[in-house]
Amino acid sequence: MPPPAAASRSGAGETESPAACRLRRLSLHLLQPSPAPGDQAGPALALAACAGRARRVEGGADVAAALAAYLRGRHRAAQMRLFDFFRARPDLQTPVELTTAAHRELCFRQLRALVRDAGVRPLTLMATDPAEYFAVMEAAGGADISLGVKLGVQYSLWGGSVINLGTKKHRDKFFDGIDNLDYPGCFAMTELHHGSNVQALQTSATFDPVTDEFIINTPNDGAIKWWIGNAAVHGKFATVFARLILPLQGKGGEPADMGIHAFIVPIRDLETHAVLPGIEINDCGHKIGLNGVDNGALRFRSVRIPRDNLLNRFGDVSRDGKYTSSLPTINKRFAATLGELVGGRVGIAYCSVGVLKVAVTIAVRYALLRHQFGPPKQPEISVLDYQSHQHKLMPMLASSYAFHFATVQLVDKYSEMKKTNDEDLIADVHVLSSGLKAYITSYTAKSISICREACGGHGYAAVNRFGALRNDHDIFQTFEGDNTVLLQQVAGDLLKQYQEKFKGGTLSVTWNYLRDSMGTYLSQPNPVTARWEGEDHLRDPNFQLDAFRYRTSRLLHSVAARLQKHSKTLGGFGAWNRCLNHLLTLAESHIESVILAKFIESVKSCPDEKTREVLKLVCDLYALDRIWKDIGTYRNVDYVAPNKAKAIHKLTDYLSYQVRLVAQELVDAFDLPDLIIRAPIGMQSEAYAQYTQYVGF
């Protein structure tokens, strides 16, 4: 039997075959989207003329400008200066085809020019204004992701380890040389056999009380420092993470292992650049991506360094070999050491959003430009007018906005943390940066491939960027903490907070919703609200946020019960492993709740009414698309009745169409210059002309 809409179009007593009904509905989907729940009919989808430029809604330029003004950070001027600098220096622009050796040399010239010609002092920025530092890193990564990563290695990792793990004597000696690039350096933590498990590193630093030196040694091949950025070609120093060994101070006169500490180790001569005695450096070679970064492997054979080269903020050794620390245990010192390196994760999450914006901009602009098929004897239509294409790209565009606001908040929290050293804020930033880095980089990696597919054969051309974006960004999921490991840190902290809740303790700011509403979220769903399906209700931010938080609370409560049950027979480690997928889902759910809460807050804070309406539309799509993608969870516990689930699905499709109508304005509001986009198919105008010129016509 045909649906009511079909029956109304058929004459009285007429019937329509299932095949004919299907064909008619497929053709109508090109002309008119599904109406929003409660509407009698949706607005007709106007056909775009086949042209070299995508059509823009009336007043679209003003919409884009207002959105851009709201998105624009307070350090946009610094980014624009860098864009102008690279635009004026064609010799520093990265070509499509480049050998590994040439890319490495170009990347170092780019960094040197940024520091010495453009006058940027990244380490000073990192110490005085982290938000501007991350803005500079994003801009550098826009010019070339390898440049952004090499900048991060030099300043976030090598420089950051010196200023955050060292003391005044280290800053006085090394700060200026790191900042002006006289002292290119490395961050030598990862070993061949150990990456995520830093406490199991094997490189040793044994104190020699006779000479007042530490002896750095690689005890076996598994302890070779591996994937060390800047090591293969350019680095002159390395912060080496090693086990601090004190002879004769253990039980029975055995050596005492004081745990992992950081040491400054010169690896090349400052004048000749020759590798220093006792150090062996080899090249990790060509990689899947980021070939402008020279990753190398380091072996140390009894390399002696002064005792003062121990970065001694959290632990020190005196001239007579006595160890002192303000922190009582190895675990606490280790946690403090890694906690000071959280800025790397903040930067990766922030820059990953920048990569996502570039990919989405290219895909959306091309989808608006590209015209294929259409109703009989009528012009072809834009591929973005196909519902399937909207389903691919519009939730992704909405996510780009959601992640933008979330990472701006993360940077602000990190900046405040560095100013105040507030312990609660330190803990909050540590877990939040872990979760956002893991969630956003995984999402971006998947999205780049979807964007490539959405651009068809032209997306496969190297000049249109998707291959380089995918390959350069892919490692974001691994360095500065493997994403699966980081999500476990989030889950572990949630469980800790959960225990504190039931012991009468307080919760950190990000977990307030667990403190305020745990009872509500763990109660049985209201059978009345479970059936509400009106558009006003579904687009109510309170409903959306409650749904996200309800899911997180249920997951937290259930995994806590499972861990308690399995620990009785499997032990703590075995129980954790048995529940691992559950724990990862919990962490992702929590991070999605944090992202949505910030998005809703950002919409409410927008001062311009029209801009706020557009952002509200995008936020609603982000929220309802996430709910629909996990609708099984909500149905299983009767949080959403079948009719409501259907209404959410319909409204999500309708919102995707609505966002499509302002898609050009939304990507233009990212305010990415052509220097950053670079893909001919992603240009704002005359894309086909630029593409044909590139290949030689």
Point out the annotated binding site.
190, 229
How buried is 38 (Cβ within 10 angstroms: 0-12 exposed, 13-18 middle, 19+ buried)? middle
Q: In this structure, what token pair is assigned to residue 429?
A: 């930033």
H or E element at residue 261: strand 256-266
Nearest Cα residue to 365 out of 71, 675, 619, 687: 687
Find out whether 231 and 238 touch, Cβ atoms under 8 Å. Answer: yes
| 275 φ/ψ angles, rounded to the nearest 5 degrees | -65, 135
Active site amino acids = 480
Nearest Cα residue to 486 out of 414, 445, 437: 437
β-strand partners of 323 = 317
Find out whether 552 and 586 touch, Cβ atoms under 8 Å. Answer: yes
| CA quadruple 47, 50, 54, 56: dihedral, nearest 10 | -40
Return d(Cα 235, Cα 230) in angstroms, integer.
Answer: 5
Residue holding tokens 């698309």? 625
Residue holding tokens 């880095």? 437
- CA angle 687–364–376, rounded 5-degree value: 85
- Region of residue 230 (phi > 0: left; psi between -120 and 50: alpha; otherwise: beta): left
Strand 237-246 and strand 279-283: the pairing is: unpaired
Binding-site residue set for FAD: 190, 229
Q: In this structure, what token pair is assigned to residue 98?
A: 């480049």
Find out whether 351 and 141 touch, Cβ atoms under 8 Å. Answer: yes
Q: In this structure, what token pair is assigned to residue 224?
A: 């070779």
